[in-house]
Amino acid sequence: METRGGRRSTEGEGAPERGGAWARWRGRAWARWRGLLSRGQLAVGRSASVAGALAVLSAAWVFYQVFDAGLGESGNVPNFIIITLNALSLAGLFFLAASGLTLIFGLMRVVNMAHGSLYLLGGYIAWSLTSSLGVNWWVAVIVATLAAGVFGLAMEELFLRWNLGQDLRQALITIALSVILADQMLNVFGGTAQQVSPPDLLAGPVGLGIYDLSYPAFRLFVVGVALAVGIALWFWIQRTRFGMVVRAGIDDGAMTSALGVNVRAVFAVAFFVGSCLAGLGGAFGGTVLSLAPGQDQVFLVSSIVVVIIGGMGSLAGAAIGALLLAFVEQYSAVYLPSGFGPYSMVVTFVLVAAVLALKPTGLFGRPA
């Protein structure tokens, strides 16, 4: 009582001495509220260890489910292998879509909310070329990739270029463009789901050599292409002169410009490449999954979740983010305790929340 009274007197002249318990309580609550507004902390204490413990526990749970029934044919291991491969190929698609988004953001601070539309556009172009015109799949994919790139470049030149530096306005512009594109694609390509048929070479399944399992060859090919694209991008950004300029532009656009580099041209190239990647992702996504209105939003949101996890502007972050998101999605759909399957999005939420609590800029992100 003594100390409490003392503290109260240091808080300044208040009425608590005269007032009743209610006034005292109110005074203290008010002081606490003011304290919260000034120096209070919302940070999740020990969030790192909590997140680590969660990750270890869920990994242990998955492994228990997998190896519980032994390694035999009748156990859960064959199923586990298929789910893991599904997750890997999904991660490949996520990476193809997200790498373009993160490249454009890293350099220009533009969140291209029409990225999903470019993805779907690429897919639809590949579909109409192969199905209606009978074009070879490989040619169709290249055309679709370049078309999405040209489309993205036109978008940048027409609408975004003269709003450079106005991040939020650019985001709103790309949202408006995505609305228009979605409606126009619905008009041209219709509302029914379409699928691009894979090339003959990769159409069938391949044997995996264990448990007599086989797996669609094309899905494995997606993983390979995602890896190749990742390595090519890394080489382009880290080892070429152009990449050096890109990195300089990311670090300090104004200074790079002052040194005589045409930063605007670099931006245009980056936007073109980023949009190409969206189109490539769409062509592959249209072959593995399907193309329908709404897929643009699905892949926009997945790409954004991937870059929030991995960190904006980081290529390695996009790779790690794509892997984490794909594995969490696939495993939580299968390995959650029975009855909790529909709640698998909660696990994705926990993943995003844990990353944001630990590192608000994402795992590999840097403060803007």
Partner 1 sequence: MRAYTTARWIVLAVIGIMVTLLPELSPTYVSSSIALPTLTTGLCAISLTFLSTYGGLVSLAQTGLFGVAGLLAASLAVESHVDPALAGLIGIAAAATAGLLFGALASSSTGTYFLMITLALGEISYYLFSAVPAFGLHEGINAVFPPSWLGDPVRHPTAIYYFILLVAVGFHLLLRYLVRTPFGMALQGVRDDPERMTALGYNVRVHRTLAFALAAAIAGTAGVLAAWTNTRISADSISLGVTIGVLEAAVIGGMYSLEGAWIGAFTLTVLSIYGPAFTDRYATVLGILFLAIVLVSPGGLTGVLTSIDRRVRHALSNQQLPALADRGASEQPRG
Residues forming contacts to partner 1 in the complex (CB under 8 A) are: 36-42, 109, 111, 159, 165-173, 175-180, 182-184, 186-187, 297, 300-301, 304-305, 307-308, 312, 342-346, 348-349, 352-353, 356-357, 360, 368
3-class SS letters over 49-84: HHHHHHHHHHHHHHHHHHHCCCCCCCCCHHHHHHHH
CA distance 156 to 268: 7
Q: How far is the CB of 11 from partner 1 (least distance, A)?
A: 16
Q: How far is the CB of 159 from partner 1 (least distance, A)?
A: 7
Helices marked H in the chain: 2-10, 21-38, 47-67, 77-108, 115-131, 137-155, 167-189, 217-239, 241-251, 253-258, 263-288, 295-310, 315-335, 344-358
Q: How far is the CB of 43 from partner 1 (least distance, A)?
A: 8
β-strand partners of 247: none
Tokens of 159: 């609408």
Contact in structure between 296 and 64 (CB atoms under 8 Å): no
Q: How far is the CB of 71 from partner 1 (least distance, A)?
A: 32
Pick the closer one to partner 1 by CB: 232 or 301: 301
Pick the closer one to partner 1 by CB: 220 or 289: 289
Tokens of 41: 């902390």
Q: How far is the CB of 360 from partner 1 (least distance, A)?
A: 4
Contact in structure between 15 and 27 (CB atoms under 8 Å): yes
Contact in structure between 335 and 64 (CB atoms under 8 Å): no
DSSP 158: I
Residue 354 corresponds to which amino acid? A
Residue 145 corresponds to which amino acid? T
Pick the closer one to partner 1 by CB: 76 or 112: 112
Pick the closer one to partner 1 by CB: 130 or 329: 329
Pick the closer one to partner 1 by CB: 108 or 141: 108
Q: How far is the CB of 187 from partner 1 (least distance, A)?
A: 6
Pick the closer one to partner 1 by CB: 75 or 294: 294
CA-based R_g, the chain, Å: 26
Q: Residue holding tokens 């790139």?
A: 149
Q: How far is the CB of 120 from partner 1 (least distance, A)?
A: 13
Pick the closer one to partner 1 by CB: 216 or 329: 329
Q: How far is the CB of 260 from partner 1 (least distance, A)?
A: 27
Give the three-class secondary structure for 289.
coil
Pick the closer one to partner 1 by CB: 114 or 222: 114
